[in-house]
Amino acid sequence: MPTEREYERLLAFRLALRRFLHWSEERSAAEGVTPAQYQLMLAIRGHPDPSGPTIRELADALLLRHNSAVGLVDRAVGARLVTRHTDRDDHRVVHVRLTARGNACIARLARAHLEQLPVLAGPILRATRARVRPSG
């Protein structure tokens, strides 16, 4: 059974995560994008393939169903944040890339997140550093 201190650590961890997510959502809104669009742009920008990730890869990275990822990409295309490109070798495969607008937006958001990370991640790191008692 967890100790009182372990419950306190779990709560501190959960609160720190929620605070970071809330801050991130507000920052995204201030940039004029949804939190889901920010996460999409980050998944695209952080993908190692210069052709851009496929819809399936984006769905996997964002923990979405394929049709939900398609809808998110559709809305991001409408917002001029991303474009679709058909694969050269397999025309059934679609890659997604950032537009100039998307690149500028993710650069601003990434910079803000990187600057805020030490402030918001501190409580998370402190909560995870404490030793956990073995059960039993």
Residue 15: which CATH number? 1.10.10.10
Residue 20 lies in a domain: yes
The tokens describing 61, both together, are: 């990275």
Structural domain total, the chain: 1
pLDDT of residue 128: 74
pLDDT of residue 40: 98
Range of the domain at 21: 4-128
Residue 133 lies in a domain: no
- For the chain, 136 residues long, the average pLDDT of each consecutive 10-residue run is 90 89 96 98 97 97 98 98 95 96 98 89 73 58
pLDDT of residue 81: 98
Cβ count near 124 (within 10 Å): 18
The tokens describing 70, both together, are: 């398609």
Output phi, psi for 25, to 5 deg: -60, -45
Residue 48 lies in a domain: yes
Output phi, psi for 47, to 5 deg: -75, 135
pLDDT of residue 136: 56
Residue 134 lies in a domain: no
DSSP 133: P
Residue 90 lies in a domain: yes
User: Whose structure tokens read 């720190």?
Assistant: 16
Residue 136 lies in a domain: no
pTM of the predicted model as reported, rounded to 2 decimal places: 0.87
Residue 76 lies in a domain: yes
